[in-house]
A and B are shown apart, each in its own frame.
Chain A
Amino acid sequence: MYQTTYHRASSVDEAAALFAKGSEAKYLSGGQTLLPVMKQRLASPSDVIDLAKIKELIGVDASGDTLTIKAATPHYDVATSDAAMKAIPAVAYLASLIGDPAVRYRGTIGGSLANNDPAADYPAAVLALGATIKTNKRSIAADDYFKGLFATALEDGEIITAVSFPVPAKAGYAKFPHPASRFALTGVFVAQTKSGDVRVAVTGASQSGVMRVGAIEAALKANWAASSIDGVTIPASGLLSDLHGSSDYRANLIKVMAQRAVAAAG
């Protein structure tokens, strides 16, 4: 690790001010992505501004038709949150599948979404549920937020403060883990909104990051049943291909995991 200056911010405003002062500052949340990268000397921030202790950034609550997860809430807290389990059990379940216990105790939803790893789990839920990403400056709709591999709509220094998920009629997540990293080799989140709309988002499979799958959405809109996906063809073009999953295997997994997600959603 290169030398860096560590700051512990006690409010979002203080964090933003510290960021503005640093020459090449970085926010630190759970550190599960940033710290390994720094240890490998692949990142060399001048200043590291810790968000994880900012009280206004921690907590899960459900009110009315919305589940809100604040940005610095660790995955473990989401996985075990009564509010999340009641409002959108598929989100709590998704959080329980992230990494291992050590990662879940530290890693946070804000860090995961800011990082936007193409194999991360949360982006699938955020996109499928049409969630809103709240920052210290604005609100960003999920459809406008994800911009490809590790790229987002966030501006330099912008802080994610919370994510609000509209509570759907039905939702389910099915993940086929990458054998080595246990990120998603392919993960599919399916949701039926209270107005009857269907949104399906896939993570881990596409060369351009988390994506919606129109063909499956249409099939499920016509008939919300796993079997209605039987006839859908997923093209392998544009999908990732690597040691652990060729693009046609991933295309197959998109279908199979979508069916399992529907089965889980009930």
Chain B
Amino acid sequence: MGVEGIGASVVRKEDKRFITGKGRYVDDVKLPGMTYAHFIRSPHAHAKVKGIDASAALKLPGVVAVLNGKQIVDDKVGNLICGWAITSKDGSPMKMGAWPAMAPETVRFVGQAVAVVIAESKNLARDAAEAVVVDYEELPAVANVTDAIKAGAPQLHPEAPGNQIYDWVIGDENAVNDAFSKAANVVKLDLTNNRLAPNPMEPRSAVADYNEAEEHFTLYTTSQNPHVARLVLSAFYNIAPEHKLRVIAPDVGGGFGSKIYIYPEEMVALWASKKTGRPVKWTGDRTEAFLTDAHGRDHVTHAEMAFDANNKITGLKVKTYANFGAYMSLFSSAVPTYLYATLLSGQYDIPAIHAEVIAVYTNTTPVDAYRGAGRPEASYLVERMMETAARQLNVDPAALRKTNFITQFPHQTPVIMAYDTGDFNASLDAAMKAIDYAGFAGRKAQAKAQGKLRGIGVSCYIEACGIAPSKAVGSLGAGVGLWESAEVRVNPVGTIEVLTGSHSHGQGHETAFAQLISERLGVPISQVSIVHGDTDKVQFGMGTYGSRSAAVGLTAILKAMEKVESKAKKIAAHQLEASEADIVIENGEFKVTGTDKSIALPMVALAAYTAHNLPDGMEPGLKESAFYDPSNFTFPAGAYICELEVDPATGKTSFVNFVAADDFGRLINPMIVEGQVHGGLAQGIGQALLEHAVYDANGQPITASFMDYTMPRADDLPSFKLSHTTTLCPGNPLGIKGCGEAGAIGASAAVINAITDAIGKNNLEMPATPDRVWRTIHAA
């Protein structure tokens, strides 16, 4: 390997443009004749739209058009779709209410758009929006699942009686009941998993440009998956056939899942561009982000775990109510089912599991996948359960975990997943050593002498990443395949362009992916460019989410590379008059083993393109593509341990130490991996201590700005101590498992386990704000 190959902590190529302000984001796009959109959004959580009077607005200077929900429905722009079909336990399909891009009749959450003003400037559009009079008739609203499922609750959609979308089950209920009837001990736990607002740094934005002569659209948009956006816009929203729609996702400033979905604003911008004959730009502000970016989590769960007399888990039953918000977002249905309940076995050998998930509409912002998506909820549940059980059974929490760890692989869980490999003892041991677990009791006593309550909390997470085998997800209801594509182009002078269907919105693909090429060919990464995010440049691909880009996307690149190498070797052998089998690639040269004969990559490339002297029958050129569909999920896993102190007078938590021992399989760029873990941990800790998207009983959001929604800041977080215990993933040739979500999945349980340990009380909900912790300490 060269210095820039696999395993090297190469500095990120893309950072120069980001750090110097030379990134090119959607909002930087300026087109001749461009207009600006401003949405008129409902101030009510639930209301009938009785009328919209735009006459005064249309008279204002610079106003191009005021368009409303009735018009977009009349123009047959399709309703928003949900891409994963879930079947209820009674065999009925999920019950989905209609979601038009702007509400023609009824608004169901604060922030839902009813109309849009298109004007010559952003400010003029805002001025005009204030002159549009919307006549609402308020309806009763409901904001949480507990109220929404009650008889007599306000009803959101006629399609979904009782506000219930589905009642889905997984696992063997009889086997679980049997386990509980024989149990020596049963541990019970009630939990909520708090709703979060994703808050990527860059708000969503779209620029739509319709060319009437060509009947062709270009859409610049903040997307994690531009091809999926084009597919959905074409196939379901009737915007334009695929070949008449180019989707470009240029530099994108963070996504965390929230930019997977195709949102109403993009649909409206495209439609409005055609209607007005002008390019249309919309850029949301932070408040709009809080109101309209899909939120994450929001579960209410009751769980019970059965143990035998040797403290071995014999069964787990779980009942979860998932708040979907007012509409079913693109992958919402899969999150609390196949991304959640299938991970309820955690790292443990649990013979019987049964879970029931009830999906519920409420008058709140739609909920969908957010960093971790279902797996943080599962991991939080399992790991708080293990800690609760250890306390109830009066055993050391680490020891209880070890008693129950899966140690033989492959391991088939009772909830679909087949874990391929792992070493859970190794990661827990590493984390315990890093934090000096054995010395904790002494430190706790010392802290006590100073009036501080010290606690330690363990969390052993597992996730299913590298999403996903297409055949498997298809059989579970997914509307798409989840392979990835790549094309490797060696240019005539030997530089290399890699076209990938993955999309980088902060993950560092331009560096990490280039490192694979460097590894294989021995060329510096400066000779490689990674091309992504433009449907006119790149072949169809599935995009980036679910920690899939290295495990799936990079493997596709490897497959294409192997084809390129194979052809290049044939050319080299022909040029060097050697046997193809004797050609090896080293430092950018094709060498004949055991001789000093060699030919440099640029010469091979040139030979491929001049085609003056190629082997008989060989096509000119040096460019190959591949589609890679994984055979299984990957299973990153690890152990996090958090040590902290609580100030009993104020309930404030201060970190003492936070250690992470992760098993991500092979690391391409350890520095980038470390950054991913840091960010994930910040989000997991944010969920545990700080973040909460809150609505009042009438569905009014009360955390729609950073003045009320606590975004984690650097001084809220400890310095993390990271380490890796590695088992290579057998499912892909590079042995990669993925690292993008682990921190967000594993961290929150470690924090809450540590606080509840410190205060000696087990009942504590997230976020553990100082007020909550203080109240819990002093509760009778």
CB distance B707 to A243 under 8 Å? no
CB distance B771 to A246 under 8 Å? yes
* Closest chain B residue, CB of each to CB of A182: B713
* Closest chain A residue, CB of each to CB of B708: A180
Contacts of A246 in B (CB 8 A): 771, 775
Which of A176, A243, A244, A256 has the most chain B CB atoms closer than 10 A to its own CB? A243
Complexed CA–CA distance, A245 and B710 (Å): 13
* Cross-chain pairs A/B with CB under 8 angstroms, 24 sampled: A176-B650, A176-B652, A176-B770, A179-B690, A180-B703, A180-B706, A180-B707, A180-B708, A180-B711, A243-B692, A243-B694, A243-B702, A243-B708, A244-B708, A244-B710, A244-B769, A244-B771, A249-B651, A249-B774, A252-B649, A252-B650, A252-B774, A253-B650, A256-B650
CB distance B709 to A180 under 8 Å? yes
CB distance B775 to A249 under 8 Å? yes
CB distance B708 to A181 under 8 Å? yes
Asked if B48 is an interface residue, CB under 8 A from chain A, the answer is no
CB distance A179 to B702 under 8 Å? no
> 13 other contacts beyond A181-B708, A243-B692, A252-B774, with CB at 8 A cut-off?
A1-B123, A176-B652, A179-B769, A180-B703, A180-B706, A243-B694, A243-B702, A243-B708, A244-B708, A244-B769, A246-B771, A249-B651, A249-B774
Mostly, the A contact residues are loop
Residues of A within 8 A of B (CB): 1, 41, 176, 179-181, 243-246, 249, 252-253, 256
CB distance A41 to B126 under 8 Å? yes
Contacts of A244 in B (CB 8 A): 708, 710, 769, 771
Contact string against A for B residues 689-708, beta-carbon threshold 8 Å, 1 for contact and 0 otherwise: 01010100000001100111
Partner of B710, one of A1, A176, A179: A179
CB distance A245 to B771 under 8 Å? yes
Complexed CA–CA distance, A249 and B769 (Å): 11
Complexed CA–CA distance, A252 and B703 (Å): 24
Q: Report B683 CB to chain A, min CB distance, Å.
A: 16
Q: Report A137 CB to chain B, min CB distance, Å.
A: 33
* Closest chain A residue, CB of each to CB of B694: A243
Mostly, the B contact residues are loop
Partner of A243, one of B126, B703, B775: B703
CB distance B771 to A180 under 8 Å? no
Q: Report A27 CB to chain B, min CB distance, Å.
A: 23
Contacts of A252 in B (CB 8 A): 649-650, 774
Of all A-B residue pairs in the complex, the 8 with the closest CB atoms, nearest first, are A180-B710, A249-B771, A181-B707, A179-B710, A256-B649, A245-B771, A180-B708, A256-B650
Contacts of A1 in B (CB 8 A): 123
Contacts of B703 in A (CB 8 A): 180, 243
Q: Report B696 CB to chain A, min CB distance, Å.
A: 10
Q: Report B642 CB to chain A, min CB distance, Å.
A: 18
Contacts of A176 in B (CB 8 A): 650, 652, 770
Contacts of B775 in A (CB 8 A): 246, 249
Complexed CA–CA distance, A249 and B692 (Å): 19
* Closest chain A residue, CB of each to CB of B690: A179
Q: Report B453 CB to chain A, min CB distance, Å.
A: 15
Contacts of A249 in B (CB 8 A): 651, 770-771, 774-775
Contacts of B769 in A (CB 8 A): 179, 244
Complexed CA–CA distance, A100 and B78 (Å): 46
Contacts of B771 in A (CB 8 A): 244-246, 249
Contact string against A for B residues 258-276, beta-carbon threshold 8 Å, 1 for contact and 0 otherwise: 0000000000000000000
Contacts of B649 in A (CB 8 A): 252, 256
Complexed CA–CA distance, A62 and B774 (Å): 41
Complexed CA–CA distance, A100 and B711 (Å): 14
Q: Report A37 CB to chain B, min CB distance, Å.
A: 12
Contacts of B706 in A (CB 8 A): 180-181
Q: Report B196 CB to chain A, min CB distance, Å.
A: 14
Contacts of B707 in A (CB 8 A): 180-181
Complexed CA–CA distance, A252 and B774 (Å): 10
Contacts of A41 in B (CB 8 A): 126, 130
Q: Report A33 CB to chain B, min CB distance, Å.
A: 12
Q: Report A118 CB to chain B, min CB distance, Å.
A: 13
Contact string against A for B residues 706-744, beta-carbon threshold 8 Å, 1 for contact and 0 otherwise: 111111000000000000000000000000000000000
* Closest chain B residue, CB of each to CB of A252: B774
* Closest chain B residue, CB of each to CB of A41: B126
Complexed CA–CA distance, A179 and B692 (Å): 12
* CB-contacts of B120-148 with A (<8 A): 123, 126, 130
* CB-contacts of B667-688 with A (<8 A): none
Complexed CA–CA distance, A179 and B708 (Å): 8
* Closest chain A residue, CB of each to CB of B689: A179
* Closest chain A residue, CB of each to CB of B648: A256
Contacts of A181 in B (CB 8 A): 706-708
Q: Report B61 CB to chain A, min CB distance, Å.
A: 12
Contacts of A179 in B (CB 8 A): 690, 710, 769-770
Complexed CA–CA distance, A180 and B708 (Å): 5
Contacts of B692 in A (CB 8 A): 243
Contacts of B130 in A (CB 8 A): 41
Q: Report B598 CB to chain A, min CB distance, Å.
A: 57
Contacts of B694 in A (CB 8 A): 243
Complexed CA–CA distance, A245 and B774 (Å): 10
Complexed CA–CA distance, A80 and B126 (Å): 42
Contact string against A for B residues 627-660, beta-carbon threshold 8 Å, 1 for contact and 0 otherwise: 0000000000000000000000111100000000
* Closest chain B residue, CB of each to CB of A180: B710
Complexed CA–CA distance, A253 and B706 (Å): 23
Contacts of A180 in B (CB 8 A): 690, 703, 706-711
Contacts of A253 in B (CB 8 A): 650
Contacts of B702 in A (CB 8 A): 243
Contact string against A for B residues 89-128, beta-carbon threshold 8 Å, 1 for contact and 0 otherwise: 0000000000000000000000000000000000100100
Complexed CA–CA distance, A256 and B777 (Å): 15
* Closest chain B residue, CB of each to CB of A179: B710
Complexed CA–CA distance, A246 and B774 (Å): 11
* Closest chain B residue, CB of each to CB of A256: B649
Contacts of B774 in A (CB 8 A): 249, 252
Q: Report B88 CB to chain A, min CB distance, Å.
A: 35
Contacts of B690 in A (CB 8 A): 179-180
* Closest chain A residue, CB of each to CB of B767: A179
* CB-contacts of B319-346 with A (<8 A): none
